């Protein structure tokens, strides 16, 4: 039977609409070829431009569309000069993560042999690890509500047992899946700063408790500063890495840099009931409106959406289409003929997306 999935689409700000439109078109064409699933798309207005126009950054009607959907596709939100009255930037994507309890920010870092990277990788070495960034609490807890006086500013780092236990279970389950498919040896690294902060000693304690339930998966710890070093010096040593919100935000941009840029870095924010798929990058206002943005991170995020829906609803055709879509992006990038400016080419957003469809069809 053909299953219909409702996808909420937040096309967001800046380059958002430019990368969302071709991504949705590719998904429509892929689903159109399939007897196993159908996709419907519903626009959910939100973001900085929407706030400037209406005074609402994440309208309740858009939250309803998100809640009622099977999955959420989001480009990027925020513009540096659109701010709330307290001076902080509009960031409804963080509100969405919190409201839908999307605790697991999944950010894969993969470098295939021959892929352009600033790393000097030994011959034959590939990089394939997943950074899981807790996405609802940590140092983002007081987002927009920090205490500021004339002389001091304070924000709170929050680590809760409830979210941490879910996060670590997710990380070990992912490591098991990767190991079972032969993709990795099965290891989870807890990245923290437990040498200095009690909150991270607490984080680590809960990690160790979850690790004890998975004797088949190796578990180790690393401090976040050393992790940044090792991501550059020996990134092939990592398999699944799990960390706090702010640490993960920073390390995932480092991971994107290793892969060749933000334009190639996909992500997913996953909870127990909902999931948002969006690139790691922001709204790139410096190149917005030029048809110059790299659509690959958005297309790869859409591939993660197909994986997630396919596994969740036992739809192997969708999983296979996720793999095909990822391989099509890899083919286009590896050929190097149709690359956007960020990767050293001259292709437009539309030409790059068309090349992905060309590699698929």
Using the rule CB under 6 A, is 244 a contact of ligand COI?
A: no
Nearest to 187 by CA among 241, 251, 133: 241
Q: Cβ-count burial of 242 within 10 angstroms (0-12 exposed, 13-18 middle, 19+ buried)?
A: buried
Using the rule CB under 6 A, is 76 a contact of ligand NAI?
A: yes
Using the rule CB under 6 A, is 91 a contact of ligand COI?
A: yes
Residue 26 binding result from Mg ion, ligand NAI, ligand COI, none, given CB thresholds of 5 to 8 Å by partner type: none
Q: Distance between CA 143 and CA 150 in Å, rounded?
A: 19
Question: Can you tell me which of 280, 317, 353, 355 binds ligand COI, judged by CB under 6 A?
Answer: 280
Using the rule CB under 6 A, is 137 a contact of ligand COI?
A: no
Let me know: does 246 contact 155? Beta carbons within 8 Å.
Answer: no
Site string for Mg ion, 235-264 (x = CB under 5 A): --------------x---------------
Using the rule CB under 6 A, is 287 a contact of ligand NAI?
A: yes
Q: Are β-strands 104-111 and 218-223 bridged in parallel, bridged antiparallel, or unpaired?
A: unpaired
Nearer to ligand NAI, 37 or 277 (CB): 277
Q: Distance between CA 72 and CA 65 in Å, rounded?
A: 9
Residue 267 CB, shortest distance to ligand NAI, in Å, is 8
Q: Distance between CA 70 and CA 272 in Å, rounded?
A: 12
**Angle (nearest 5°) at CA 303 between 301 and 305:** 75
What distance, in Å, lies between the first and last C-alpha atoms of the chain? Answer: 24
Q: How many CB atoms lie within 10 A of CB 198?
A: 9
Nearer to ligand NAI, 244 or 342 (CB): 342
Question: Can you tell me which of 248, 282, 310, 322 binds ligand NAI, judged by CB under 6 A?
Answer: 282
Q: Distance between CA 7 and CA 39 in Å, rounded?
A: 7
The residue sitting closest to ligand COI, measured at its beta carbon, is: 91
Nearer to ligand COI, 235 or 282 (CB): 282
Residue 352 CB, shortest distance to ligand NAI, in Å, is 9
Using the rule CB under 6 A, is 77 a contact of ligand NAI?
A: yes
Residues making contact with ligand NAI (CB under 6 A): 15, 76-80, 89, 93, 262-263, 278, 281-287, 293-294, 297, 342
| Residue ranges in contact with ligand COI by CB under 6 A | 78, 91, 94, 249, 280
């Amino acid at each position: 039977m053909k299953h219909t999935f409702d996808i909420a689409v937040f096309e967001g700000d800046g380059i958002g609409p430019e990368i969302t439109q071709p991504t949705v078109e590719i998904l429509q064409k892929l689903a159109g070829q399939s007897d196993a699933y159908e996709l419907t798309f519903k626009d959910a207005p939100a973001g900085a431009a929407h706030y400037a126009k209406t005074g609402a950054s994440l309208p309740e009607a858009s939250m309803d569309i998100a809640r009622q959907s099977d999955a959420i596709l989001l480009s990027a939100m925020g513009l540096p000069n659109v701010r709330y009255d307290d001076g902080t930037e509009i960031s409804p994507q963080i509100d969405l993560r919190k409201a839908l309890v999307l605790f697991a920010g999944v950010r894969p870092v993969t470098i295939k042999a021959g892929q352009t990277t600033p790393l000097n990788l030994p011959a034959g070495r590939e990089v394939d690890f997943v950074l899981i960034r807790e996405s609802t609490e940590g140092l983002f807890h007081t987002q927009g509500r920090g205490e500021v006086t004339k002389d001091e500013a304070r924000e709170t780092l929050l680590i809760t047992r409830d979210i941490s236990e879910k996060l670590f279970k997710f990380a070990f389950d992912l490591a098991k899946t990767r190991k079972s498919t032969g993709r990795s040896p099965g290891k989870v690294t807890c990245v923290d700063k437990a040498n200095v902060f009690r909150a991270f000693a607490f984080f680590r304690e809960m990690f160790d408790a979850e690790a004890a339930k998975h004797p088949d998966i190796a578990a180790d710890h690393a401090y976040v500063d050393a992790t940044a070093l090792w991501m550059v010096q020996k990134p092939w040593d990592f398999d699944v890495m799990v960390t706090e919100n702010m640490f993960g935000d920073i390390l995932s941009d480092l991971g994107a840099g290793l892969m060749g840029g933000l334009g190639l870095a996909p992500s997913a924010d996953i909870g127990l009931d909902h999931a948002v798929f969006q690139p790691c990058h922001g709204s790139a206002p410096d190149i917005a409106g030029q048809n110059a943005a790299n659509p690959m991170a958005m297309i790869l995020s859409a591939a993660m959406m197909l994986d997630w829906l396919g596994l969740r609803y036992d739809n192997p055709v969708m999983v296979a289409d996720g793999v095909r879509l990822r391989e099509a992006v890899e083919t286009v990038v590896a050929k190097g003929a149709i690359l956007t400016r960020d990767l050293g080419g001259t292709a437009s957003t539309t030409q790059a997306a068309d090349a992905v469809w060309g590699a698929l069809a």
